[in-house]
Amino acid sequence: MSGSLTGFATAIGISRATMRNIRQNLSLAFGYNTNSIPMAAGLLYSFFGIVLFPVIDAVAMAASSLSVVTNANRLRRVRLRSAPAAVLHGNDEPG
């Protein structure tokens, strides 16, 4: 780390992107569990007579995990806005 405050600004930007990503992942997992747990428990059979095979549930769970991991990997491509040079160097005058 250097003595510059830009590292602090970068850390704040990364932490905000991480928290946004965590909220998105929680939403994805909650949506999956809200929909698939009742189906796995036999709710479709009770109303429509449809029986799901365990393989379908396994594929759906793998797809859910894949969507969460893919969303988390988007953090590698986070681009943070850079501050103007005058702010970074403490200059009041342009140029």
CA angle 28, 18, 6 (to 5 degrees): 160
The residue type of 22 is: I
pLDDT at 55: 82
- pLDDT, one tens digit for every residue, the chain (95 residues): 567 777 888 888 888 989 999 999 899 888 888 888 887 777 877 888 888 777 877 888 888 889 888 988 888 887 777 654 444 444 444 44
What's the pLDDT score for residue 47?
83
Report d(CA 7, CA 1) in Å as an integer: 7
What are the extents of the domains in the chain?
6-89
| 8-state DSSP, 42 | T
Model-level pTM greater than 0.85? no
